[in-house]
A and B are shown apart, each in its own frame.
Chain A
Amino acid sequence: MAAIKAEAVPYRDAFRANPAEPAWLVDARAKSLAAFGERGFPSRRDEAWRFTSTRPLAENFFVPVRRDLAVTANEDTDFGKLGFEGPAYRLVFANGIVRALPSKLPPGLWLGSMSQAISERPEAAEFAISEIDLGGTQPFASLNAALFADGFVFDLDEGVALDRPIEIVHLGKSALPTSIYLRNSVRIGAGSEATVIETYVGQGAYWDNVVTNIAVAEGASLTHIKLQDESREAVHFASARISLGWSARYRNFGLTLGANLSRNDIQVLLGKGAHANIAGAYLQRGDQDTTNAVVIDHAEPDATTQELFKGVLDERSHGAFLGTIRVREGAQKTDAKQTSRALLLSDRASVNIKPELAIFADDVKCTHGAAVGDLDKDALFYLRARGIGVDEARRMLIEAFLLETIDTIESPEVREHLARQVRRWLAAEKA
């Protein structure tokens, strides 16, 4: 047996094989656990984790939540202000276990929990744990494969345009450090259209470890929104792997407000003529720390990508953006654009940006731009000259700075929903 890293030992010991699970899953869990044990936590010496400290995780053992653990979160009151107000097919998870399912679903849509899918829809469950370790850079995805208790499964048949978004709400609540593992699967059939809104909220010290596998078939379109407003003591790591078929369209927007330490890993593999639009805004204060790491992989010709990330960092917070655009040999006519900007509002805030291009084809257009700075003094002066107080003027400018990322979303209701969260954060400034 290979050596196991010290920090992995309690997690290995917490693992209980479930004989009721199918053999392939038992096997996959064992292999993933061994892989994690060998690899341990990533450190700053790992290029992909250079700017993300895993110290909060190393200091405590976060006891993995099991299906049989009692959950006390009250799903109605705890996320009231964060829920999407329009009609939606809603799925609620409390500490990583499904609590509420939508009652009525339209034809062509399968929406349920992972625990249910393992027996009823094994191919969706298998898809969710396929290609688990993303090139050795994501040991936490291996840990997730070993320990996940539940998650959501969303399958949409060919040629269906959903009339309302799918809303997935995650509530975390814990007095002691616990770790929550969600494994999700999304498969959108050819020519279909859908929107998924994920919301994370909670209280206490817990660690959400989320892995989502997404496949968007040819000509289909998926809008994927994520609002992360976890407890300020929480750790939130989410890793999504998306593959886009011929001419498929994928739009991802993430709003990061909460958690003490958070990280979004997004990996997109584009097929011929596919389009990806990846955007995000991160607003941090106190000693919050967040990383967005996006890898765009242009494997085939004619695909396009747009990326836009903006950060506002106050007090002692830290933000990082790592964006890689890879264009493989033969992926001609690729057009990829990446922009990353950050505002530092305090002397002690800091930011790291690493935009990276790796290009192996000649007939491509790839650009990246990055900028870090303070608010535009001329704009501030302009507003103040019109009698607007300095705090209000600053808020207006920050809001305008951030809303550009939200403007990439098509639905006005979703845009308004997110803009409201941004305003709420800004109103709490200096509170």
Chain B
Amino acid sequence: MSDVAQALVKEGYKYGFITEIDEDRAPAGLNENVIRFISTKKGEPQWLLEWRLGAFRRWQRMQEPKWANVHFAPIDYQAASYYSAPKQKATPKSIDEVDPELLKTYAKLGIPLHERAALAGVAVDAVFDSVSVATTFKDKLGELGIIFCSFGEAVREYGDLVRQYLGSVVPQGDNFYAALNSAVFSDGSFVYVPPGVRCPMELSTYFRINAAKTGQFERTLVIADRGAYVSYLEGCTAPQRDENQLHAAVVELVALEDAQIKYSTVQNWYPGDAEGKGGIYNFVTKRGACRGARSKISWTQVETGSAITWKYPGCILEGDDTVGEFYSVAVTNNHQQADTGTKMIHLGRNTRSTVISKGISAGKGQNTYRGLVRVQPNAANARNYTQCDSLLIGQKCGAHTVPYIEVRNPMARVEHEATTSKISEEQMFYCRSRGLSQEDALSLIVNGFCKEVLKELPMEFAVEAQKLLSVSLEGSVG
């Protein structure tokens, strides 16, 4: 490795600071009392407590999934605390009452929490450790009937809606991590867009893990009613710590007739240091249901962070003529491991899905695309196109592709293509001979490789994602 590259490797993760703040936290360990504690803290109705306990009882009988191509020391689920909240005197009525330390943290992260930063034009729900600390632009959205609030608030204010949709896409016992989340989830975001309303701004959640020895278990529920449209962004960071922290989130999307949901994620949890010490275990279940005819759900993700990523955002194409999309860039550098992909389940007629996955492995990273395209017997004229490309940088990394194709209808057309390549010396030489530095050349080539995915991101995010890609890969050539 060149000196420049070495120096860049050391630059590392710039969101790794810790905020000193008083917190409320549950004692370490997980049992029914802890779940009752969380539920009481949040003032939840009885049905939700029972739902949590049901999930917990299922979780106790479940085994951690072993099939993913990731390796890590066993997790002691009893060692972590399942609830941590920054201490506040009372629920803040406006943004001015929020603890200034918190606001400073978000300022450092570049999140325009303050409504004065309205120019950014993004409504933000910020989740700090376990609870939502502030939601902006609420009034403006309220005028259109759009609900955008923390999950806790939604349970209090819109209990019926939550009850109707919670667990309808990702059931309590869906998988080990989803069951854990269903039992202990602390907060998250809730979005409801009423019929025919096009949400005028991007909605965004910013997740931040701050406290040590905690996990983060947020839950997001987005419902687009008939003919509605919403674009939702999600970003995340965490402090740099030597221990591994668990992040097990659940995201459920429901699109009714003619509705569209666009869900974008830039995931930049702390990936661990160059030796693979520390970092977030990102075990996330994300799924969208295209319930109504002609609805559309589109997932876009840029995964640069986390020590381990285990995540398969999927679409259940129930309605006729529904569309599912998945665009992904996953980067693994140093000792990062990612096993990610999508599931497209075609149930309705004329359903279409597109999967574009770009995996980049550098250092000792291991990157796996794992995907399922299933066409059920009634899904006449279903159409899928899948493309997964891997880019290898260096000789110690690995790239893996594990797609499953299951077709039970003769009128379906399913196409899958995968390629693996490296950055060619010719490409490098061409860029270098035009005066680009090695790092800039790499960044240019990688951004070109990911272009098809990055163009799906809303603009503010695309810029951030491009920068992240460059930072994540610094020091990987030379």
Q: Interface of A with B (CB < 8 Å)? A: 47, 329-330, 342, 344-374
Do B407 and A368 touch (CB < 8 A)?
A: no
Interface centre among A329, A359, A366 (most CB of B within 10 A): A359
B386 → A minimal CB distance (Å): 9
Q: In whole angstroms, what is the CA distance A353 to B408 when docked?
A: 12
Given the interface pairs A344-B410, A349-B410, the reply to whether A368 lies near B418 with Cβ below 8 Å is yes
A373: chain B residues at CB < 8 Å are 412-414
Q: In whole angstroms, what is the CA distance A362 to B414 when docked?
A: 29
- A-facing mask of B396-421, CB < 8 A → 1, else 0? 11111111111111111111111111
Do B400 and A369 touch (CB < 8 A)?
A: no
New contact pairs (9) apart from A47-B67, A354-B403, A370-B415, CB-CB < 8 Å: A347-B410, A353-B416, A355-B416, A359-B390, A363-B422, A366-B418, A367-B419, A368-B416, A372-B407
Show 14 A/B contacts (Cβ-Cβ < 8 Å), sorted by A.
A350-B408, A353-B406, A355-B401, A355-B403, A359-B392, A359-B398, A362-B397, A362-B422, A365-B419, A367-B419, A369-B417, A370-B414, A372-B412, A373-B412
Do A372 and B405 touch (CB < 8 A)?
A: yes
Q: In whole angstroms, what is the CA distance A350 to B401 when docked?
A: 23
Nearest residue in B to A338 (C-beta to C-beta)? B418
Across the interface, A352 reaches (CB within 8 A) one of B390, B393, B398, B404, namely B404
Across the interface, B399 reaches (CB within 8 A) one of A353, A359, A371, namely A359
B128 → A minimal CB distance (Å): 40
Do B377 and A347 touch (CB < 8 A)?
A: yes
Do B401 and A352 touch (CB < 8 A)?
A: no
Nearest residue in A to B410 (C-beta to C-beta)? A344
Across the interface, A366 reaches (CB within 8 A) one of B403, B411, B419, namely B419
Do A374 and B411 touch (CB < 8 A)?
A: yes
Do A357 and B393 touch (CB < 8 A)?
A: no
A364: chain B residues at CB < 8 Å are 392, 420, 422
5 closest Cβ pairs, A-B complex: A344-B410, A362-B392, A353-B405, A357-B401, A370-B416
Do A370 and B403 touch (CB < 8 A)?
A: yes
Q: In whole angstroms, what is the CA distance A368 to B388 when docked?
A: 10
Q: In whole angstroms, what is the CA distance A363 to B418 when docked?
A: 16
Q: In whole angstroms, what is the CA distance A393 to B358 when docked?
A: 40
Given the interface pairs A347-B409, A373-B413, the reply to whether A358 lies near B400 with Cβ below 8 Å is yes
Q: In whole angstroms, what is the CA distance A329 to B394 when docked?
A: 11
Nearest residue in A to B396 (C-beta to C-beta)? A329
Nearest residue in A to B366 (C-beta to C-beta)? A360
Do B420 and A354 touch (CB < 8 A)?
A: no
A368: chain B residues at CB < 8 Å are 401, 416-418
B46 at the interface (CB under 8 A from A): no
B33 at the interface (CB under 8 A from A): no
A400 → B minimal CB distance (Å): 18
Q: In whole angstroms, what is the CA distance A45 to B418 when docked?
A: 26
Do B416 and A350 touch (CB < 8 A)?
A: no
Across the interface, B409 reaches (CB within 8 A) one of A47, A344, A355, A366, namely A344
Q: In whole angstroms, what is the CA distance A143 to B403 when docked?
A: 31
A320 → B minimal CB distance (Å): 9
B417: chain A residues at CB < 8 Å are 367-369
B23 → A minimal CB distance (Å): 43
Give the total of B residues in contact with A, Cβ under 8 Å: 35
- Secondary structure type dominating chain B contacts: strand
Do B418 and A355 touch (CB < 8 A)?
A: yes
Nearest residue in B to A346 (C-beta to C-beta)? B410
Do A367 and B406 touch (CB < 8 A)?
A: no
Q: In whole angstroms, what is the CA distance A298 to B419 when docked?
A: 16
B395 at the interface (CB under 8 A from A): yes
Do B416 and A367 touch (CB < 8 A)?
A: no
A330: chain B residues at CB < 8 Å are 395
A371: chain B residues at CB < 8 Å are 413-416
Nearest residue in B to A371 (C-beta to C-beta)? B415
Q: In whole angstroms, what is the CA distance A357 to B398 when docked?
A: 10
Do A342 and B395 touch (CB < 8 A)?
A: no
Given the interface pairs A362-B393, A373-B412, the reply to whether A350 lies near B407 with Cβ below 8 Å is yes
Q: In whole angstroms, what is the CA distance A351 to B419 when docked?
A: 23
Q: In whole angstroms, what is the CA distance A123 to B409 when docked?
A: 50
- A-facing mask of B412-447, CB < 8 A → 1, else 0? 111111111110000000000000000000000000
Do A356 and B414 touch (CB < 8 A)?
A: no
Do A356 and B401 touch (CB < 8 A)?
A: yes
Do B402 and A354 touch (CB < 8 A)?
A: yes
Do B409 and A352 touch (CB < 8 A)?
A: no
Q: In whole angstroms, what is the CA distance A258 to B75 when docked?
A: 49
B445 → A minimal CB distance (Å): 14
A309 → B minimal CB distance (Å): 13
Do A342 and B407 touch (CB < 8 A)?
A: yes
Do A372 and B413 touch (CB < 8 A)?
A: yes
B406: chain A residues at CB < 8 Å are 350-353
Nearest residue in A to B411 (C-beta to C-beta)? A374
A347: chain B residues at CB < 8 Å are 377, 409-410
Given the interface pairs A354-B403, A357-B399, the reply to whether A365 lies near B410 with Cβ below 8 Å is no
B330 → A minimal CB distance (Å): 15
Across the interface, B395 reaches (CB within 8 A) one of A351, A357, A362, namely A362
Q: In whole angstroms, what is the CA distance A427 to B373 when docked?
A: 33
Q: In whole angstroms, what is the CA distance A353 to B402 when docked?
A: 10
Nearest residue in A to B416 (C-beta to C-beta)? A370
Q: In whole angstroms, what is the CA distance A219 to B195 when docked?
A: 70
Q: In whole angstroms, what is the CA distance A353 to B415 when docked?
A: 11
B416: chain A residues at CB < 8 Å are 353, 355, 368-371
Across the interface, B400 reaches (CB within 8 A) one of A342, A350, A351, A357, namely A357
Nearest residue in B to A354 (C-beta to C-beta)? B404
Q: In whole angstroms, what is the CA distance A130 to B58 when docked?
A: 46
Q: In whole angstroms, what is the CA distance A348 to B407 when docked?
A: 10
B392: chain A residues at CB < 8 Å are 359, 361-362, 364
Nearest residue in B to A350 (C-beta to C-beta)? B408
B375: chain A residues at CB < 8 Å are 372
Q: In whole angstroms, what is the CA distance A380 to B396 when docked?
A: 50
B404: chain A residues at CB < 8 Å are 352-354
Which B residues from 16 to 68 make CB contacts under 8 A with A?
Answer: 67
A370: chain B residues at CB < 8 Å are 403, 405, 414-416
Q: In whole angstroms, what is the CA distance A344 to B375 when docked?
A: 12
- A-facing mask of B338-375, CB < 8 A → 1, else 0? 00000000000000000000000000000000000001
B401: chain A residues at CB < 8 Å are 355-357, 368
Nearest residue in B to A369 (C-beta to C-beta)? B417
Interface centre among A329, A348, A368 (most CB of B within 10 A): A368
A108 → B minimal CB distance (Å): 41
A352: chain B residues at CB < 8 Å are 404-407
B412: chain A residues at CB < 8 Å are 344, 372-374
A305 → B minimal CB distance (Å): 13
A346: chain B residues at CB < 8 Å are 410
B403: chain A residues at CB < 8 Å are 354-356, 370
Across the interface, B420 reaches (CB within 8 A) one of A47, A329, A350, A357, namely A357
A170 → B minimal CB distance (Å): 32
Do B420 and A359 touch (CB < 8 A)?
A: yes
